[in-house]
Structure 1
Amino acid sequence: MTHRHTAMQRGLLPVSIALALAPAFAGAQEAPAAPAEQATTLDRIEVTGSRIRQSDLETAQPVIQITREQIQQQGFTSVADILQNLTSAGSPAISRAQALASGEDVGGYYIDIRNLGAERTLVLVNGHRLGISTSGLQDLSQIPVSAIERIEVLKDGGSSLYGSDAIAGVVNVITRSNFDGIEANAYLGQYSQGDGQKQSYDFTIGNQGERSSLTVSFEYTKEDPVMAKDRPFSSYGNVGENYADDYPFSGWSPVSQNGSALLPCGPGGTRVFCTLTPGTDPRNIANYKPIVASQFANSNEQMFVQTGIERHSVFVNGSVDITDNIRFKTDLQYNKRTTDQQIAGYPYQITATNGFPLLSANSYFNPTPGTAVNFRRRLWEVPRTTESNLETFRVAAGFEGSFQIGEKYWDWDVSANLNRNDNVKSGVGDASLLAAAKALGPSWFNPATGRVECGTAAAPIKYGTNAATQCVPWNPMAPFGDTQAGSLSGNPDLVAFLFPQYTDTGRTNSKTYSANLSGSPFTLPAGDLGLAVGIEHRSEDGRFVPDAFRQAGTSTGLPATTTSGAYSLDEIYGELEIPVLADMPFAKELSFNVATRYSDYSNFGDTLNSKFSLRWRPMDGLLVRGTYAEGFRAPSINDLFGGLSASFESYTDPCGVGANNSVNGNAACNAAGVPLGYVQLGQGLVPCTGYPCQTPDQFTSGSNPTLTPETATTKTAGLVWSPKWVEGLDIELDWYNYELTNAIIQDSPDTILRDCYVLGNAERCNGINNITRAADGHVTGMFFGLANLGALETEGWDLNVSYKLPETSFGKFAINWDNSYTSKYDTLTQDEDGNDIMVGQVGTGGVFRLRSNFGVNWTKGIWGANWTARYYSGLYESCVPNRPCNDPDRIANGVDDAINRLGSNTFHDVQVYAKLPWEATVAVGANNVGDHLGPTMFTQPSSNFPYYGGFDIGRTIYVKYQQRF
């Protein structure tokens, strides 16, 4: 049963709201507006998407700008959450709902534009690259919100100007500078369920002199984790509250915290998995009964549905005018991010391939003395917890200036950008197999000490937690909560003996040196010719070293080996802005922009990428724009030099009779020894009832040093209309098309199995993939690595309408309506004959047909309020056995393709604020004020739970206070 709490249960949030609002209502009166930050106004500025400094901000490319004021009107405390609510943002990469995610990047926040992948969106800070992990991901949690002046998002390919990774777009975070004064902010929030408390505190101080400026921001944020058992969509296993009665115990694991062993305790003495009656003697076979579904483990009870995160940040921006034409500028940043994960205790189960130790024939706890016992038990007493610490040190420094040739001004800059990320991951909850072998080995009752000890009376092993010389015996038959001898419950010595702390370490270094020059060499009849050129040298090196236990495969954790590598590159680019017509009928302006970038990499060679843009203004108030761009993404260190890793994959075995398009009994399956009538086996070697089904054995994956760059072409076309007869109205309509080829993808178990057994490709059965099977037919192992085998095409429309209404006696109103419509999202796969085909994915996973944000902002005097509705169109999932299916008769591409359709979702955010006479602002708000929850999704997109990982998981209520001095 799910309990919904009607009031805040923890923390001081209600009191904080009351205290904050009290002075607002008591002193509600007209207050003078806060003094604006002083800023240096330049005639020529650089806009994201062009390297040519210009005075016109309207570009030939679609660029979104998120101002500091807009950020403050939202109830989010991280850059990633702010960007994730853009309608063009795709599914969150490694979302906080992916509790089972592992590796170096877990705990970070990443942005994915157009669902092309976070590694294909470039992130800049003040025009300089943010440091990357060995996977090529850029962690937005490094950037403190308090230091941000605005965020510019280029929704177009940018490789011709910015290089690798700018395939989907570019996010450029512009930080505060030339700030004069002191500002402090406090934020307190939590979910209305009484959990997930959030707090953020920041302090900014700045001074602007005649020739220098210094701005320093300090920020601390913390968000508590949320347990999966406290949300209705995740508390009932993998079905959610709505289907808990229809599919009881669905997704619960037979590897139970109650423990079970393969014993002759079934009807007529048959050998089945049986569990011990709590409080009884584990050595008596009569005390065992066959395990039933109600005794299985609902692992979600111990898992975080949202990870916890804590950040400490310092950001410094400074500048000194050395002369009237030369300035020194620098950014300094330190950030420490700590992320907490928790998943259920490890499902210890013995298979023919994992080599886990059995309960010894000579264990004191053995119910069949003289015969080793195959058992399985979830290590419920010690949930697997991981603390990921990332420390970032960043320095960007350089000189910029200008000079004049004739009447033409030229701007130049030279800079260095150094970024270092140090990663330390500490975990507890995986058992040492070395210790487990001793703890499950021979043991005896020592009458002298009155306890069970390891070894034998003739050869005792000293009792203690030092795994090298001592031992603590383990009774895996004791159910959770049973404190009898040898039980994990209530035995801290055994816990300390079996569960060491594991530590993974990593470091990445990014170094960039660049020089840029822009200006106008001469004037054409329609205006100045714009020119920008630049050179850049960049080097990347990184390593990630898993704990020695994981490298040796001597723990229950997933095995992994070291990732280590480096590469460097040299680049040169050029950009021309060519005015063709000006102030003519139907051509108030017509100009072209061309740019190209040559990149020479140390690991794979060179690449050339170009871009062509058009800007045409047929009349005042109307702009027509379009672009054609080439892009690329270089393989990352992890792609090229990554170590091997292992995982429990979910897949569908075509040799199983329960699978769609089963080929059970064909020549390939027979040659592999698969029995006729075989049903795929999942966790605990239990027959699968739904597909895909998770393997009980670890599969291995790894890198590929021969990878080449991904390539892409991007096309956009759009209109920007600001009709003169409706003052304050702006309309933008843009069409986009991305084609990604040569994409680096992970070869999947499903593809390998289909190629091997359905298409009869023997090379995919053996060779590097090396599919192995047990005598019962189930797949016990395979290797799937990286390859340039992928392709993707997406197409759609963006529509933005903003309208600032004339001021009325009721106040000022501003409306903004932002939409992204995806008409095509096709990925490469193969049909049953092995032919490459593109398959539509719109409406599946996190690929929404339409995302729309509608917002209204109101201000009057000291008061203000805003409301935003975030709309997501409906999704669908393929129908599988034992799952809901509301469109079973659907036909797609001429074949049966039954689906389950899920409705659209809208989340509403509100905020009310007041600007107070003592230079303060107080705001109270709620994100998802209606406490809306999305539908149950069995495919678990961007999540490890039956729910989309990008949806809100509850109503967040918050209060914010800002004080300026």
Structure 2
Amino acid sequence: MKFRKVLSNRLAVSVRFALSISALVAVVPVFAQAGNSDQGRPETAKKLETVTVTGSRIPRVDMETAQPVLTIDRAQIEKQGAASVADLLQNLTEAGSPTISRANALSSGEDVGGYYIDLRNIGSTRTLVLLNGKRLGATTSGRQDLGQIPASAIDRIEILKDGASSVYGSDAIGGVVNVITRKNFKGAEANAYLGQYGQGDGAAQVYDFSLGTSNERSSLMLSVQQYKEDPVWAKDRSYSRYPNGSRYPTTGWSLVSQNGAFSGLCGAGGDPAWCTLTKGSDPRDIANYRPLAPSERTNFAEQMMLQTGLERTSVFVSGHYDVASNVRFNGELLYNKRSTRQQIAGYPFSTGGFDMPLSGESYFNPIGKDVAFLRRGWEVPRTTNSELESFRFVAGFEGGFDIGDRLWNWDVSALHNRNDLLKTGHGDFNLVHARNAVGPSYLGSDGKVHCGTSASPVSDCVPWNPLLPYGQAGHGSLADPALQTYLFPEFHDTGRTTTTMYSANLAGSLFSLPAGDVGMAIGYEYRREQGRFAPDAFNQSGLSSGLPATGTSGKYAVNEGYVEFDVPVLSDKAFARELSLNAATRHSRYSNFGNTTNSKFGVKWKPMDDLLVRGSWSQGFRAPSIDNLYGGANGTFAFYTDPCDTVSGSAKGNGSVAARCSSGFGGQAVLSPGFVQLGQGGSPCTSYPCQTNYQFISGSNDKLRPETATTRTLGLVYSPSYAQGFDVSLDWYKIRIDNSISTDSVTDILEDCYLRGITARCSSFTRDPSTGAITSMFFGLTNKGWLETAGYDIGVNYRLPKFSFGQFKLQWNTTYVDYLNEKSDNNPDTKVQPLNSYAGNFRVRSNVMLDWALGDFGANWSMRYYSGMKERCVAVAMAECNDRNHVAPDTGARPLRRVASTIFNDMQFRWNAPWNATIALGANNVFDKVGPTMYSQPNSAFPYYGGFDIGRFYYLKYQQRF
């Protein structure tokens, strides 16, 4: 409560500060005009006649560069049905799978709730996000949240589809997203966005307003946004209603039932089994227990969110003031408060995981001796509320001066960004209290059950009967509020990251060549990153049923200098209307790993006025993040498919894999010919991937080296003069990342060991020699070899001539991925792993939009195409396995399941009302398309791709200008 009060106070202070500046803006222009009424246009305005395009520091008079840059302007943003700009960017054909999908309620850590763009599907930490040309603050994992920028403040978004480490430094490998805010905004504007899914859930509400004023000497703008999206529950969609999409309890449902069970002989005798109480009967009479039937397994999806809830409040203030004819002050303030709520099913308590039997001296024990038990905490679902408060401040000066007849522009600035995090979790057991609650207990003379014995009672303890079914009243019921308070405390994780940066830049023209001026930019930056993340003390000590974790804490600093040149070679010549070269290099000195230098070369050639040919070669790098280097260890109950499983693993159809499993390859236990992977409760898995019954550990690596990258692009833009309003572009790209920093996974380790025969990987886990179950595993970060991708971007834009029935515009963008390959190490015998077309890595994505306008009316229709996907065949999908003879280049025989492509359609109608307003009504996924079932659960906790639409979404947008 104290932390929330602090957040509220800080928000109030920020809003008051912003409103105070807005009030002051009415006074500033008066003084500016009074003091400079005889002065002409300030010298700083001269530089506004040129533009600085993302990917270069040299101002120029046109937007065309040697690099492919996609621009989304404000008009395009308003014609989309996205609730946020981040949603709009996720629909780009160049964008990869969402890094932390809101369809994965099992996600944890400090990044949950943010929007992180991933260009080229090579990881969001390899895409750099800028706000007005300067970095956004990052989390300890290095991710930058796009969602914190109010849409009302945005003028345009420039997406550089090329590497740019020579200009911007670390992280700019897959590309750069530069969000540019509105300048010299005058007046006021208010917007409202309301929407919900056709099923009546997932309601979205976005309200914002902007105020601005400007004159020849100053400007100031304030934008405030309130954003809220309600959660969507898994039980309300057909593809997420049941575990692994199966309505049959024997396939994927959890053995750990909310009705409770103990391991022993049920009733008066019989074979050992998990014994559960017949509902409504006396839980202390052994005769009332019977074997737990397969149909009584738990559908944990009933308590899970399909899409998490989210709230945001954002405040953005920006402005400038010309303190002299050639000196301008610029300032920005961004405040953002984000709250994300997740819910998953109550904790599946298993004594096997904690060595905590129901005591034979417990009043609730029906057989009088210690017994292992299973009981899901159905009465108290697990919830996590993540509150993140961000504060960003940028201030600086810019100006210009003449050397002869050449104008040089300069700027100096300082940036400070801070993120404060509070995560509040509820629903995990306090293991100290749980041990007492299932220990000895007795019925007192007061008719109540007490902990301990009558001779030695235990105070401050509430006894628990884990064998009492959900919904049945009685002593020790988990529905008892006192017991819930005792067993389920709130757990708090806290974190803070700060980014501090100082920069100075100088740009202008050196001298003239026959083809034009030689441009140059030079600059220096100092940046310091510091971060910590502290899990709750109970989680750090392993005293809760939550995943154990240790703290993250670290910092580093970097000094960087760069220089860039733009050289015109030919101009107005035959087959060379323009030919220019661009070159840049940047040297970085990191406090934690040393030096790196990265360069870039580009060429722009116009053989004729209608055709532009462009190409570039660049070096890039990504420095390990604070979490990569100094993060703590974290526990996880991972989902995976064991290759040695003879039912659904690779051993079923791959003889070499079966031979390695049965021979104890890599020093592991020898597995029986009929080995089946064991899941929760130690029972054989019936669906895959299957969740382990043992806690695995993942962690950081302070020995990581920076990633290095080489990016190549080659493209053309054709804008025929005989077809006004028409242009087509084609760009080829190739990215190679060496020493790639990757998070290992259970599946990768097991497949490297058994499928690819890499013996070194077999030492990362341990098997039980009797059951063959994997009882322990460590998978941390590593420099994993290399990652390489190549493909093509195709863009077509056509503004048709005006007709009596309206103006039409066509936009068509397609990305074709030629390949996306990964190699886990640099061993020449290790085979390359193809990732293209596997779930979430689409070979083709394509968007088409047709826009129509006539007077005050307009409409648009768009289609979003995703090519088909493929995944491994597992038992639950064996009947749908349609490529059983597939042979993979890295693993050999590997049957596949292929699914068809998916198309979503969107539409919008708009009207410019006579009272200076615009009203738009639309629907995303008009035909309520449902994507294919994906048992591999890509970017999701359910058998459905986490980047797909989850229903037909209706919305209403209202904009009022004053």
TM-score, normalised via structure 2 length: 0.92
Whichever residue aligns with residue 156 of structure 1, its letter is D
Q: Which residue does 2:539 correspond to in 1?
A: 550
Give the 3-state SS of the residue equivalent to 1:395 in structure 2: strand
Whichever residue aligns with residue 385 of structure 2, its letter is E
Deviation (angstroms), 1:667: 3.9
Q: Which residue does 1:93 correspond to in 2?
A: 99
Q: Which residue does 1:698 correspond to in 2?
A: 695
Q: Which residue does 1:817 correspond to in 2?
A: 812
Q: Which residue does 1:944 correspond to in 2?
A: 941
In the alignment, structure 1 residue 592 sits paired with structure 2 residue 581: yes
Give the 3-state SS of the residue equivalent to 1:141 in structure 2: helix
Structure 2: runs of 5+ lacking an equivalent: 1-43, 651-656
Q: Which residue does 1:918 correspond to in 2?
A: 915
Q: Which residue does 1:609 correspond to in 2?
A: 598
Q: Which residue does 1:503 correspond to in 2?
A: 492
Q: Deviations over 1:874-903 (max 9, x none)?
A: 111121223121222334449433211111
Deviation (angstroms), 1:964: 0.9
Give the 3-state SS of the residue equivalent to 1:70 in structure 2: helix
Q: Which residue does 1:365 correspond to in 2?
A: 364
Structure 1 residues 898-907 or 938-947, which shifts more? 898-907
Deviation (angstroms), 1:749: 2.8
Distance 1:952 1:757, change over 3 A: closer
In the alignment, structure 1 residue 453 sits paired with structure 2 residue 443: no
Q: Which residue does 1:5 correspond to in 2?
A: none
Deviation (angstroms), 1:763: 5.8
Give the 5 Å matches for 1:655-670.
655-658=644-647, 659-660=649-650, 661-662=657-658, 663-668=660-665
Structure 1 residues 841-850 or 509-518, which shifts more? 841-850
Query: Conserved in 2, the CA contact under 8 Å of 1:418 and 1:511?
Result: yes
2:871 to 877, 885, 905: 877
In the alignment, structure 1 residue 478 sits paired with structure 2 residue 468: yes
Deviation (angstroms), 1:275: 1.1
Give the 5 Å matches for 1:393-542.
393-447=391-445, 449-462=446-459, 470-489=460-479, 491-542=480-531
Q: Which residue does 2:144 correspond to in 1?
A: 138
Structure 1 residues 757-766 or 164-173, which shifts more? 757-766
Q: Deviations over 1:613-664 (max 9, x none)?
A: 0100000111000011110000000010000101012234455444322334
Deviation (angstroms), 1:99: 0.8
Give the 3-state SS of the residue equivalent to 2:243 in structure 1: coil
Query: Conserved in 2, the CA contact under 8 Å of 1:190 and 1:197?
Result: yes
Q: Deviations over 1:701-728 (max 9, x none)?
A: 1111111100111111001010011010
Query: Conserved in 1, the CA contact under 8 Å of 2:586 and 2:598?
Result: yes
2:779 to 777, 780, 784: 784
Give the 3-state SS of the residue equivalent to 2:686 in structure 1: coil
Q: 2: CA distance between counterparts of 1:102 and 1:561? A: 14
Structure 1 residues 677-686 or 404-413, which shifts more? 677-686
Q: Deviations over 1:540-595 (max 9, x none)?
A: 00000000110000011000000000000000001010110000000000001011
Q: How large is the Cα RMSD of the aligned pairs?
A: 1.9
Structure 1: runs of 5+ lacking an equivalent: 1-38, 463-469
Q: 2: CA distance between counterparts of 1:720 and 1:657? A: 54
Distance 1:750 1:75, change over 3 A: closer
Q: 2: CA distance between counterparts of 1:669 and 1:392? A: 48
Q: Which residue does 2:389 correspond to in 1?
A: 391
In the alignment, structure 1 residue 907 sits paired with structure 2 residue 904: yes
Whichever residue aligns with residue 815 of structure 2, its letter is S
In the alignment, structure 1 residue 209 sits paired with structure 2 residue 215: yes
Distance 1:382 1:725, change over 3 A: same
Q: Which residue does 1:375 correspond to in 2?
A: 373
Query: Conserved in 2, the CA contact under 8 Å of 1:657 and 1:664?
Result: no
Query: Conserved in 2, the CA contact under 8 Å of 1:403 and 1:410?
Result: yes
Structure 1 residues 378-387 or 664-673, which shifts more? 664-673
In the alignment, structure 1 residue 147 sits paired with structure 2 residue 153: yes
Q: 2: CA distance between counterparts of 1:471 and 1:278? A: 27
Query: Conserved in 2, the CA contact under 8 Å of 1:871 and 1:904?
Result: yes
Deviation (angstroms), 1:750: 3.7
Query: Conserved in 2, the CA contact under 8 Å of 1:673 and 1:775?
Result: no
Q: 2: CA distance between counterparts of 1:116 and 1:760? A: 26
1:63 to 69, 87, 106: 69
Distance 1:924 1:760, change over 3 A: closer
Distance 1:759 1:163, change over 3 A: closer
Deviation (angstroms), 1:539: 0.3
Distance 1:858 1:763, change over 3 A: closer
Deviation (angstroms), 1:250: 2.3
Q: 1: CA distance between counterparts of 2:711 and 2:855? A: 46
Give the 3-state SS of the residue equivalent to 2:784 in structure 1: strand
Distance 1:681 1:96, change over 3 A: same
Q: 2: CA distance between counterparts of 1:72 and 1:237? A: 38
Query: Conserved in 1, the CA contact under 8 Å of 2:663 and 2:670?
Result: no
Q: 2: CA distance between counterparts of 1:194 and 1:596? A: 54
Q: Which residue does 1:318 correspond to in 2?
A: 319
In the alignment, structure 1 residue 223 sits paired with structure 2 residue 223: no
Q: Which residue does 1:343 correspond to in 2?
A: 344
The percentage of aligned residue pairs carrying the same residue is: 56
Q: 1: CA distance between counterparts of 2:896 and 2:938? A: 16
Q: 2: CA distance between counterparts of 1:65 and 1:180? A: 23
Q: Which residue does 1:890 correspond to in 2?
A: 886
Deviation (angstroms), 1:745: 1.4
Deviation (angstroms), 1:670: 8.4
Q: 1: CA distance between counterparts of 2:751 and 2:77? A: 48
Give the 3-state SS of the residue equivalent to 2:943 in structure 1: coil
Q: 1: CA distance between counterparts of 2:129 and 2:865? A: 26
Distance 1:865 1:888, change over 3 A: same
In the alignment, structure 1 residue 714 sits paired with structure 2 residue 708: no
Deviation (angstroms), 1:770: 5.7
Q: 1: CA distance between counterparts of 2:73 and 2:671? A: 61
2:109 to 80, 103, 111: 103
Q: Which residue does 2:289 correspond to in 1?
A: 288
Q: 2: CA distance between counterparts of 1:535 and 1:705? A: 28
Distance 1:671 1:863, change over 3 A: closer
Deviation (angstroms), 1:782: 1.8
Whichever residue aligns with residue 333 of structure 1, its letter is L
Q: 2: CA distance between counterparts of 1:420 and 1:667? A: 51
Query: Conserved in 2, the CA contact under 8 Å of 1:360 and 1:441?
Result: yes
Q: 2: CA distance between counterparts of 1:332 and 1:871? A: 38
Query: Conserved in 2, the CA contact under 8 Å of 1:237 and 1:249?
Result: no
Whichever residue aligns with residue 349 of structure 1, its letter is S
Whichever residue aligns with residue 821 of structure 2, its letter is D
Distance 1:494 1:577, change over 3 A: same
Q: Deviations over 1:436-491 (max 9, x none)?
A: 011101111112x21111111111233xxxxxxx01110000111111211112x1
In the alignment, structure 1 residue 630 sits paired with structure 2 residue 619: yes
Q: 2: CA distance between counterparts of 1:867 and 1:506? A: 44
Q: Deviations over 1:118-172 (max 9, x none)?
A: 0000000000100000000111121111111110000100101000000000000
Give the 3-state SS of the residue equivalent to 1:252 in structure 2: coil
In the alignment, structure 1 residue 838 sits paired with structure 2 residue 828: no
Query: Conserved in 2, the CA contact under 8 Å of 1:511 and 1:540?
Result: yes
Q: 1: CA distance between counterparts of 2:242 and 2:798? A: 46
Distance 1:474 1:427, change over 3 A: same
Deviation (angstroms), 1:266: 7.8
Q: 2: CA distance between counterparts of 1:107 and 1:311? A: 10
Whichever residue aligns with residue 617 of structure 1, its letter is K
Distance 1:952 1:763, change over 3 A: closer
Q: 1: CA distance between counterparts of 2:673 and 2:730? A: 58
Query: Conserved in 2, the CA contact under 8 Å of 1:349 and 1:684?
Result: yes
Distance 1:929 1:657, change over 3 A: closer
Give the 5 Å matches for 1:153-192.
153-192=159-198
Query: Conserved in 1, the CA contact under 8 Å of 2:756 and 2:831?
Result: no
